[in-house]
Structure 1
């Protein structure tokens, strides 16, 4: 049975290069005439390595900002520059290792390559045929890849020598752990308008005017930009496009496999060397000696590796009938396959599905129309270019084209209607009165032109215009002030020895809490304040309408015998050690980088970026 091997961290550079190459070369159309795009010291940067670095950087940024992030946006955000610099620093370290004569022998390189999972055969071990095929697929010679591995390993050895055993003094982590492990026991109670015993009088004219005058920002309207525009989006264009019933039916028939889905099973599969091994394994499962999952682990496979996903009866071949006759949870086999006898486990029974034509007709019609909308918009843009060049106004453009007109009083933050498009908002913000209209493209393929008609500056609205609102806001502020005053009075009473209950307050005593704990129902920063108090101190806190009385009941130092404290201290020590090693390597790498020559073929780089 196959046994899976752990992969040395030194070989990941090679694995990423292979994986990146397999992923990239299929979609970028990079010309084979350019092999190298740069040089760092005496080390070359190949086109594949540059592609891999860019793709990896793009994927990392997409994890933060979403999968819709384009490479152009990645460049605008500085991602390309960061990915290139990371690649340069890695090459600079490899160059430095070579300069000082640090390297490893062929046997060590071979052992590391044999651990790369991308080069494993069906038995789980290293396959020379798989290795050579993978390299051919990405256009790499064996010597080229092995030299890259040797450089990566030597660079890793250099990094380990520089920062591998660095540690921070133990007292650093212990001090931080004690700080984080301190506890406070608090009692708190909320004070609301219901606790206020005095009535709040109606505001006078002077009260309202004073509130209005002291809060001009509350009564100020933002700048308003009044625009007239003409636009044609794919959705607008699609509404005017005629699509025949035959065309819609043809698209439905073309996708019939997604609308009429046969019965399926979600199965796991284990492959064996011979029938005897498969039969023996089945017997162990059926006797209850071992589960299918445990058997997979014993053979060195994870659940992800044996999962076959959704399979039809036909796709299962000779095992189809047996699998489809089995119940969920059953193990079926042995079944012959081109890889050897297999056992199947049935995980989920999926019934056949059928989506009728009428259910998707409108969707298909809109899709067909949308696919043609681009041509319609392109034709309109061509004629629109001449109109704009001839000085046509928005009204003329609407009369002579399929663009639709509209007006908008736009304020910062408005994202409704056409303002949902960022280029539209940017064009309004940059527009000037009297300027000629300009054609602007939208991300979905649409176009628009606009004219700024008027800028209405910010204005403080008068009290008469906003009297009702001013009265509401004054009452709210007056109530908050009354609650704060009452909270201060009650807090003084608590500090003087009165209990929360005697004062008509509902108090909550929290268990011992740390600085990072959050107390629901209290203002933000409650625990930060608690850690500034002495035992028995009482104070009030308020935030966004919430007012509480807080009393510190007791102080507890960190329990250094507690397992949680020990784990936190050890984790802090590891984090600090890693940070120290990272800082040292950053300083060392920066020094190496500063003394290493770097050059790139910017034409080749631009070609790769265009493909991306």
Structure 2
């Protein structure tokens, strides 16, 4: 299994070497007297090798994302370090194969080369010219490529030897499968807070203090920004706006179709090829031989295909008078239509609806006034910007422009008043004490400017400040404790033959529930506790405002022998063996590198990277 994985890894690396040559048109060798980016033991990592690997990685990124990748971006993604680590790891294995004397013969190397599809001609046979051309385009000589291929096959032999025999033990697979797939049957019920029979005692000062001291996170104020703001809201400006009566009347007339709706009918239209066919259909309906729905189905249509919606009389053309003459739902026709003779079915009568000018005048006035207010505010933005740029304070621009001015202690999550606006919350989140106020538009056409006066660090409130919250929290916790004690007091009765139902609780029976099951109405750790229980045990679990009584009825072991189980375990064993083999291979590679030692030539590495600037 591990050997197969290594073989696939070899195949991908091999094809990667080939594809560098096929797609790397314009690639250049790295010149200079020093051509080594690193030395691992006695093996040198050639600069051109690092160059080609880095170019291949960048090309792959660009092909996947469609984005041109600069060297600066590549460094940001860590691509250069990944490539360097990969070529060093490969060199370390090559150094180890050389130390151990592992190599392959020329005949095996030749077989490898001629089997590579990219080197075959149109006849499916190895093409020497194509082979030479591909290597030239990649900047590789034949000897360089053949050496890299020979090294790769040698590495494959070494890697296969390292991971050979790696397998997942059956007991390991069976144990994990049994853990994941075993189930529980249990019976449970909720004891709600309104069934608490024990009075809650009056807390002592020591008890309240202990509760307060144990929960500092509940009584700590978050970071708070003291913000002063100036705010102009369209609602504040509307009372100052005068709207001409003619404008209101013009808007009403413009929307006459909304306010003066004529009588309408909900209509369906079924078109026929000839008047005779339409008449025959009408006769069949009149004789009770067919329904309108039958006729629609015969045409392979749906009612939605012939639905015209609700229409006034003048939009029904020749059928208008007949359709509107119907006093109840029915069929009329045939009548001429734009698509030929048709039957019309009227389904509902919609009476005319008229909304008078007086009924909507105030709404129209408000709409026009709001529009005018927003325009007025918009026209003031430049002037307000100029005032702030000239040094005016929040208070000064508020006074001179009749804006609201206020101060609030803002924390993340506040959404009251002006903090209900997204734009204000974003500005409040970003503002610092070094920022100058700026006029910002709001979603409803208003504007505001703010200033950060102080930044208050998170603060644990004194117990006296939160006395009511402390008492309420203590009482809620005490009630839950008393309710849990009351529930535990029921267990002897349940063990003596009573049931949850006989004790007045709503009994729920669950079967075949797995560890990750969600049972509505139970605490978050409910299933974890159930799986820790012994068969026949009772437990009491506290929730937010109730407690749960639960009994474990049965433990159902996982079926290890079903076809589904065998398939799932086989898949898990295979994937786990691959992961173990990969871990062994990586550990071996790290050990080889550590034993051989690594020397990096940063100057050459930087010079290679500079080729991509």
1: distance between equivalents of 2:532 and 2:289?
A: 61
* Secondary structure at 1:473 match in 2: helix
* Secondary structure at 1:228 match in 2: strand
1: distance between equivalents of 2:513 and 2:290?
A: 46
Does residue 266 (structure 1) correspond to residue 261 (structure 2)? The answer is no
Does residue 391 (structure 1) correspond to residue 369 (structure 2)? The answer is no
Q: Which has the larger radius of gyration?
A: 2
- Could you tell me which residue of structure 2 aligns to residue 499 of structure 1? 498
Contact 1:440 1:449 in 2 (8 A): yes
Does residue 342 (structure 1) correspond to residue 342 (structure 2)? The answer is yes
* Secondary structure at 1:314 match in 2: helix
* Secondary structure at 2:333 match in 1: strand
Deviations 1:508-547 (Å, cap 9, x if unpaired)?
2547676699766554676786677675343333321221
2: distance between equivalents of 1:340 and 1:522?
A: 66
Deviation at 1:186, TM superposition (A): 4.3
- Could you tell me which residue of structure 1 aligns to residue 407 of structure 2? 407
Deviation at 1:182, TM superposition (A): 10
1: distance between equivalents of 2:510 and 2:407?
A: 60
TM-score norm. by structure 1 comes to 0.56
Deviations 1:546-605 (Å, cap 9, x if unpaired)?
2121124467899xxxxxxxxxx9xxxxxxxxxxxxxxxxxxxxxxxxxxxxxxxxxxxx
2: distance between equivalents of 1:373 and 1:198?
A: 62
Deviation at 1:359, TM superposition (A): 1.8
- Could you tell me which residue of structure 2 aligns to residue 417 of structure 1? 417
Contact 2:491 2:538 in 1 (8 A): yes
Deviation at 1:262, TM superposition (A): 0.8
Contact 1:284 1:290 in 2 (8 A): yes
2: distance between equivalents of 1:259 and 1:454?
A: 54
2: distance between equivalents of 1:377 and 1:310?
A: 43
Deviation at 1:466, TM superposition (A): 2.6
Map 1:132-531 onto structure 2 (within 5 A). Answer: 186-191=186-191, 201-433=201-433, 435-491=435-491, 494=494, 496-500=495-499, 504=503, 506=505, 508-510=507-509, 522-523=522-523
Deviations 1:192-246 (Å, cap 9, x if unpaired)?
5677776654322221111110011222233332222222344334332210112
Provide the aligned length of Structure 1 versus Structure 2: 387
Deviations 1:113-153 (Å, cap 9, x if unpaired)?
xxxxxxxxxxxxxxxxxxxxxxxxxxxxxxxxxxxxxxxxx
2: distance between equivalents of 1:529 and 1:289?
A: 68
**CA 1:281/1:202 → structure 2, altered by over 3 Å: closer, same or farther?**
same
2: distance between equivalents of 1:302 and 1:229?
A: 61
1: distance between equivalents of 2:180 and 2:513?
A: 7
Deviations 1:84-105 (Å, cap 9, x if unpaired)?
989xxxxxxxxxxxxxxxxxxx
**CA 1:434/1:240 → structure 2, altered by over 3 Å: closer, same or farther?**
farther
Contact 2:512 2:556 in 1 (8 A): no
**CA 1:276/1:216 → structure 2, altered by over 3 Å: closer, same or farther?**
same
Contact 2:539 2:550 in 1 (8 A): yes
Deviation at 1:319, TM superposition (A): 0.7
* Secondary structure at 2:435 match in 1: coil
Deviation at 1:264, TM superposition (A): 0.5
Deviation at 1:263, TM superposition (A): 0.7
2: distance between equivalents of 1:355 and 1:502?
A: 60
Deviation at 1:450, TM superposition (A): 1.2
**Larger mean Cα displacement after TM superposition, 282-291 or 342-351:** 282-291
Which residues of structure 2 form unaligned runs of 5+? 1-22, 24-63, 67-178, 559-563, 565-613
**CA 1:503/1:195 → structure 2, altered by over 3 Å: closer, same or farther?**
farther
Deviation at 1:463, TM superposition (A): 2.0
2: distance between equivalents of 1:381 and 1:417?
A: 22
Deviation at 1:501, TM superposition (A): 6.4
Contact 2:523 2:543 in 1 (8 A): yes
* Secondary structure at 2:314 match in 1: coil
2: distance between equivalents of 1:370 and 1:192?
A: 52
**Larger mean Cα displacement after TM superposition, 415-424 or 324-333:** 324-333
- Could you tell me which residue of structure 2 aligns to residue 548 of structure 1? 548
2: distance between equivalents of 1:204 and 1:300?
A: 81
RMSD: 3.8
**CA 1:526/1:321 → structure 2, altered by over 3 Å: closer, same or farther?**
farther
Contact 1:327 1:346 in 2 (8 A): no
Contact 2:501 2:507 in 1 (8 A): no
Which residues of structure 1 form unaligned runs of 5+? 1-40, 42-83, 87-178, 559-568, 570-612
Deviation at 1:387, TM superposition (A): 1.0
Deviation at 1:181, TM superposition (A): 12
* Secondary structure at 2:315 match in 1: coil
**CA 1:197/1:425 → structure 2, altered by over 3 Å: closer, same or farther?**
closer
**CA 1:186/1:331 → structure 2, altered by over 3 Å: closer, same or farther?**
farther
* Secondary structure at 2:269 match in 1: strand
- Could you tell me which residue of structure 1 aligns to residue 136 of structure 2? none
Deviations 1:410-464 (Å, cap 9, x if unpaired)?
2322212211111111111222235321121223333211112233333222222
2: distance between equivalents of 1:406 and 1:421?
A: 15
2: distance between equivalents of 1:277 and 1:525?
A: 71
Deviation at 1:268, TM superposition (A): 1.1
Contact 2:388 2:437 in 1 (8 A): yes
1: distance between equivalents of 2:284 and 2:555?
A: 59
